[in-house]
């Protein structure tokens, strides 16, 4: 497809201009960064916070566990609301919660206060990632969506890259309360940008952007809103019911379950390495908070590069498989139509054939490097590649899930968050116990083995994903027809 045809297809899918899409992407990247930034700014300060509150490392790890539980559960609620009532209003509500929780944490002095307010902060900040994925689905067609998702994930990964470094500096030179003053300011700035500038993008409300939203969903500064096309707002737009359990219902589909389990396992292993690293570098290598934060930069920069490059690779694979399918059928789609793949799973999952084994190799070697007390530079280099391969796996599945459920992008993205954070909470609460029992080397070897056990699920989705998806779409279409028939009888 030439450049003109690609632009035609994009303009039919969404009337937002390329410049508007890029600026919206920057805004949602900034909002999405707040969640991981909060989680990882906190990590290097764990020993200092435990000491200040008079609790053990195992106890303070419970604040991370609680954070991950709420980070997993609440996006399912907010995402389902956003898929019905719009992205903009949910963004504003959740960021208000994050600002309030941050201010409360600035004045917290007890373990119980930190535990409760961290959970509240997760309730507000965690949904931004799913909402951002929904907006990208709204305004970006699938043939270039991989690149946008890669940039979005890379922007969110800035929190992964610089969160520990900033957290270490603030904990050492401004006390651990300084972390939450910084987060309060950041969330307030993001809230201001979204309140003033972000337009509504939900297709149920604005179509492809050509239908004006209700006045209460319009930003005060309409700079990023599409130019009026003369279309009037229909009196009665179709409206779905809020399905708060939507993220759980999605899990019942075999192909989705494969994707979520694999993502959750790899995320949990990565999370365990991040949490354990703070204690390892403090106790075994004698680093202070600022130096511990510096060591996390390698992992974060690896995540940035992995997201960006894998996003471009996903677009290239999509186009390659699309051309192959068109050649096979002998019926290339006319320019200007939204092009979709029959075998989208194969196009999206191809890169896992090398990213998944490489991640496992790095995790196992990391554990034994720490076990033998090798020079710290070796573990830092390995953490760079751990971040790279983990982010590549996550962006692959994040893009695929949005492709599979285009009408519920935020809800489907929240399902990834739900499963991975709940499993991550289990991993966070047990990693220190595992290390104490069997040591660093065997702990991370065990985690690598668990990753290997998930490989058949990748194969299953690669081989049978299209059949599962076709069956699901047929069932959904039949249900929709039945519902319309009932509504017609009632009318």
Q: Mind listing the pLDDT tens digit for each residue in 331-344?
A: 555 444 445 557 78
- Residue 336: the pLDDT is 40
CB half-sphere exposure, 290, CA atoms < 13 A:
6
Of the candidates 337, 327, 343, 401, the residue with the CA atom closest to the CA atom of residue 145: 401
Q: Tell me: the pLDDT tens digits for 130-185?
A: 788 889 888 888 778 878 888 888 777 777 777 877 887 887 788 888 888 999 99
Mean pLDDT, rounded, of the chain: 82
324's CB contacts (< 8 A; 6+ apart) are none
Question: CB neighbours (10 Å) of residue 107?
Answer: 10
Q: Tell me: the pLDDT tens digits for 94-120?
A: 999 999 999 999 998 899 999 999 999
Q: Tell me: the pLDDT tens digits for 77-97?
A: 887 888 888 889 999 999 999
- Residue 41: the pLDDT is 81
Distance CA 444, CA 453 (A): 14
Is this structure's pTM higher than 0.85?
no
**Does residue 406 register a pLDDT over 50?**
yes
Lowest pLDDT segment from 37-41, 84-88, 318-322, 484-488: 484-488
Of the candidates 268, 269, 251, 252, the residue with the CA atom closest to the CA atom of residue 260: 251
CA 336 to chain centre: 30
- Residue 200: the pLDDT is 92
- Higher pLDDT residue, 114 or 410? 114
Distance CA 68, CA 58 (A): 15
- Which pair of tokens denotes residue 264? 């959750």
Go through the domains of the chain in sequence order and give each one's CATH number. 8-205+246-471 (1.20.1250.20)
- Which pair of tokens denotes residue 452? 């290997």
DSSP 146-203: HHHHHHHHHHHHHHHHHHHHHHHHHHHHS-THHHHHHHHHHHHHHHHHHHHHPPP--H
């Amino acid at each position: 497809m030439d450049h003109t045809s690609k632009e035609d297809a994009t303009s039919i899918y969404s009337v937002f201009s390329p410049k508007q899409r890029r600026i919206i992407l920057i805004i949602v990247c900034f909002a999405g960064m707040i969640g991981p930034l909060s989680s990882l700014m906190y990590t290097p300060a764990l020993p200092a916070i435990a000491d200040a509150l008079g609790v053990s490392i195992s106890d303070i790890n419970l604040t991370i566990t609680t954070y991950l539980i709420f980070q997993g559960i609440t996006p399912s609620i907010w995402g389902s609301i956003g898929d019905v009532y719009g992205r903009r209003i949910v963004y504003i509500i959740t960021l208000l919660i994050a600002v309030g929780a941050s201010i409360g944490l600035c004045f917290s002095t007890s373990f119980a206060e930190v535990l409760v307010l961290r959970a509240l902060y997760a309730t507000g900040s965690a949904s931004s990632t799913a909402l951002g994925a929904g907006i990208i689905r709204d305004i970006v067609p699938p043939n270039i969506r991989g690149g946008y998702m890669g940039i979005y994930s890379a922007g969110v990964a800035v929190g992964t890259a610089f969160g520990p470094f900033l957290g270490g500096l603030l904990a050492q030179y401004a006390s651990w309360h300084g972390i939450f003053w910084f987060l309060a300011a950041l969330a307030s700035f993001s809230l201001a940008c979204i309140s003033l500038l972000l337009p509504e993008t939900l297709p149920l409300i604005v179509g492809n952007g050509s239908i004006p939203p209700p006045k209460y969903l319009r930003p005060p500064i309409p700079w990023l809103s599409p130019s009026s096309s003369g279309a009037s707002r229909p009196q009665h737009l179709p409206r779905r019911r809020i399905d708060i359990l939507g993220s759980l219902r999605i899990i019942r589909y075999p192909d989705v379950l494969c994707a979520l389990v694999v993502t959750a396992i790899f995320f949990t292993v990565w999370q365990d390495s991040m949490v354990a690293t703070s204690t390892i570098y403090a106790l075994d290598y004698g680093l202070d908070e600022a130096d511990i934060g510096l060591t996390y930069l390698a992992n974060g920069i690896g995540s940035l590069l992995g997201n960006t490059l894998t996003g471009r690779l996903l677009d290239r694979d999509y186009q390659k498989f699309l051309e192959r399918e068109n050649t096979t059928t002998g019926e290339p789609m006319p320019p200007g139509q939204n092009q979709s793949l029959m075998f989208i799973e194969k196009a999206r999952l191809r890169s896992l054939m090398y990213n998944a084994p490489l991640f496992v190799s790095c995790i196992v070697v990391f554990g034994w490097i720490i076990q033998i007390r090798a020079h710290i530079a070796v573990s830092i280099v390995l953490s760079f590649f751990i971040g790279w391969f983990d982010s590549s796996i996550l962006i692959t599945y994040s893009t695929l899930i949005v492709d599979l459920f285009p009408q519920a992008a935020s809800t489907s993205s929240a399902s990834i968050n739900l499963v991975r954070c709940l499993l991550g909470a289990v991993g966070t609460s047990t990693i220190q116990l595992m290390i104490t029992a069997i040591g660093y080397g065997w702990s991370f070897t065990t985690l690598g083995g668990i990753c290997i056990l998930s490989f058949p699920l990748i194969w299953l989705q690669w081989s049978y994903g299209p059949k599962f998806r076709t069956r699901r779409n047929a069932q959904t279409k039949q249900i929709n027809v039945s519902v319309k028939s009932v509504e017609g009888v009632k009318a």
